[in-house]
Amino acid sequence: MNDFTILHLSDLHFNKKGKQLPDLMVNLLSDIKEQLKYINNLIIVVTGDLVHRGNYEYKNSVLTFFEKLSDIVGSKAKDIYIIPGNHDKVRNCVDSKMLEDYDKKEAQEFYQDYWKYVKFGFSQYQELVKEIYAKFNCVEDVERKIKTDLYGVSVTELSSINKKIAFLQFNTAWACTGDADERKLKIGAFQLESIVGEYEDLKGEKKYDLTIALAHHPLDWLTGEEENLLRTKILSNYSLDCDVYISGHIHNRDVTNLLSPRHSLTTLVSGIGWPDDERPTSFPHKHTYSWYQFNLDLNSIDVYVRSSNDINKFQPDLQFYTTQQNRVDEKIVMPIDQHKTQPYFYLSTVEGRTSKVCYFTGDTVKWLQTYMTIIGKCRIKVYKELEKIKYDTYDIMKYLLLSDKRLAKKIDVERLVHELYDIFYLGIDHKNIVKFIYKTRKGKRLKNFWYDEYSGYLQAICSSLANAISCTLKENKVEEDKEGETEGEEEEKIKECDVRVHFRCLDLESDNYYHLCTSILGEENYMQSLKWGQLLQSSYETKKPLVASINREYCAESYLKNETKEKDQKKWIDFLTAVPNAYRNAYLELDRETEQVIKRRPWVTFGITIYKEEYTYLLYLMDFFRIDDVISDFFHQFEFYIPIDYEDFANYIIKGKEGVKNKNETGK
């Protein structure tokens, strides 16, 4: 997996002379050492405010901290970046005049006239950063690492994962004047022009795999015009094409995602904050720092935020982790590129309508796991049923063939039985053998037996799927209303008819679909027939499973009948209709003159009806993951051994149900 980790430190605000570190910084280093155990490919990022209030008498404590940090990270550190903050600047009398003239001069003219004064204000900062870089073995050329203009672009190449990462180093602190800088800061067109040019020059033949912007201030600390100027560059696929913006300054932690129609940007904020002896009493936030693990193959960033407790020891920031899963994982996960994610799945609709989408929620993963478990259990049960049918069928066919003396005079029955063995036990395809047996004297008797077996097989599919649904939901305890109930009550509740899985078959004479089999015992006595049309017809025409609630206007009649049921009749909540894609599962009527198809119907249809609202999500997943393909696969597995003539099969079923047809006319 192509991953690397950024250790983000910001707003260290060292304010003590000498080399002795305050307890907060000792604890910070200790926590970094502990968290570093499972990390490789480390890049350290420091987004400003090394010293407090521009006082470089504190530089020795800064150097002591980074010397110890270098010892801790050792060879795991592949690079380090430090950018200036407002406290790193030594202010002077030129600042106010410089800002007055900013809007009056062209970008390059302003740069020529004033930037030398900005550089002078950060000169002690530059010397300190040089000394810090020199302490890290990953910095091969300190002079080259330093950006003389206090901004620029650098590239880190991680050879172990063959990735090239561009770091845009912005100086948002040059226009700072005091404590009231919010929405007053400048970025400068001259700075952006220079960074864009350097970004292109360093790109070379191999494109950047990731572009990360570093700044001291969040974007919204710039003036509106300047923020728009910067956003235009970093959110453009044709300019800086930035993926992540890392900043500090606000002495807090934050994770957001900015999205435009063509680009996304994840912003990450963290910061240790004010020294404890100068911390405003009204300031509510703790000291924080962060780890960002970039999983490039997975298009994700794992954000681990660590915050101090009352004794300045660092721990997971549980106040920042707002969901239960965040707290369990002790992290927040963000996309690197939002446009490469799809936080929703499509639901099928009738012909001519655009698909509806279902957005992922906190329960989606649970339902996905539940769905996969259900299908897995169902497949196992159906497979076992098919194995039983195979061997029973072989034994009966073998007996009938060997006992047919008349047939034995015409063909080699022993060889025929041997070929049947190859089919049913070894899975060798000899379909012509079965078709030949159809035509023998005992073929009709065998055919009826096979149809009964197939009907039982479809019944097994219904029962297996319904049982897998109820058992899995019980095991996973998905239903919210189970909490606090006893095991016996849960068992009783599961046995209620909350899900009905069924097949219907076509009576061509009435153009109605009648009960073939169902998962609910006795359901055939009140399961109403279904007219051709509405959702069933749409499902057949679109070749997709369709959920009623998603296509409600196309099953209005079914909804009306459901709403007007008698009190003793159970009302359904939703249902899914599908047509299995089986060979010859279609009735076609042709115009005698043109030979054009004038009537088309499936012989066998499939459906799932739910009686609890919380199961609706399960229907959505069955739509998206194409439950009709699963059912079709079951059909194909049976037909590998015994081909089914669906017209003949449907007529056989309908003929056997003449007694209940009139009783259950029309409806859903």
Q: What is the DSSP string of 43-72?
A: EEEEES--BSTT-GGGHHHHHHHHHHHHHH
Q: Which of 188, 183, 248 is closest to 214 using CA atoms?
A: 248
d(CA 197, CA 240): 10
Q: How far is Cα of residue 112 from the mean position of the Cα atoms in its chain?
A: 50
Is the CB of residue 121 less than 8 Å from the CB of residue 135? no
CATH fold for the domain made of 4-340:
Purple Acid Phosphatase; chain A, domain 2 (3.60.21)
Mean pLDDT of the chain: 90
Query: Hey, which residues does 587 pair with through a beta bridge?
Result: 601
Report, as an integer, the average pLDDT of 491-505. 73
Q: Which tokens in the block code for residue 172?
A: 């948002």
pTM, rounded to two decimals:
0.80
Q: Which amino acid is at 643?
A: P
Q: Which of 603, 600, 555 is closest to 583 using CA atoms?
A: 603
For the ranges 180-189, 436-445, 525-534, 626-635, the lowest mean pLDDT is seen at 436-445
Q: What is the pLDDT of residues 56-93, one digit of tens each?
A: 999 999 999 999 999 999 999 999 999 999 999 999 88
Q: How many residues does the chain have?
A: 668
d(CA 45, CA 182): 23
Percent of the chain topping pLDDT 90: 71
3-state SS class at 449 = helix
d(CA 164, CA 156): 6
Q: Which of 225, 226, 235 is closest to 257 using CA atoms?
A: 235
In this structure, the dihedral spanned by the alpha carbons of residues 553, 559, 564 and 569, taken in order and rounded to 10 degrees, is 180
Residue 243 has pLDDT above 50, yes or no: yes
Is the CB of residue 258 less than 8 Å from the CB of residue 337? no
pLDDT band at 413 (very low <50, low <70, confident <90, very high): confident
d(CA 668, CA 500): 12
Q: What is the pLDDT of residues 570-580, one digit of tens each?
A: 899 999 999 99
Alpha-carbon distances of 424 from 390, 642, 645, rounded to whole Å:
6, 9, 19
Whether the CA torsion 419, 424, 427, 433 is positive or negative: it is positive
Residue 337 has pLDDT above 90, yes or no: yes
Query: Which has more pLDDT, 470 or 224?
Result: 224
pLDDT band at 285 (very low <50, low <70, confident <90, very high): low
Predicted local distance difference test score (pLDDT) of residue 664: 53
Highest mean predicted confidence (pLDDT) among 205-209, 276-280, 544-548, 552-556: 544-548
d(CA 301, CA 267): 11
DSSP string, 355-405: PEEEE--TTHHHHHHHHHHHHHHHHHHHHHHHHHHHHHHHHHHHHHHHT-H
Domain boundaries, the chain: 4-340, 362-479+495-665
d(CA 392, CA 404): 19
Report, as an integer, the average pLDDT of 342-365. 89
Highest mean predicted confidence (pLDDT) among 346-360, 456-470, 492-506: 456-470
What count of Cα atoms within 13 Å lies in the side-chain half-sphere of residue 668? Answer: 30
Residue 143 has pLDDT above 90, yes or no: yes
d(CA 311, CA 308): 7
Residue 489 has pLDDT above 60, yes or no: no
For the ranges 61-70, 217-226, 272-281, 504-513, the lowest mean pLDDT is seen at 272-281
Q: How far is Cα of residue 187 from the mean position of the Cα atoms in its chain?
A: 36
Predicted local distance difference test score (pLDDT) of residue 361: 83
Q: Which amino acid is at 273?
A: G
Q: What is the pLDDT of residues 641-661, one digit of tens each?
A: 888 989 999 999 999 866 545
> What are the backbone angles phi and psi of residue 275, rounded to the nearest 5°?
-60, 145
Q: What is the pLDDT of residues 603-627, one digit of tens each?
A: 999 999 999 998 999 999 999 999 9
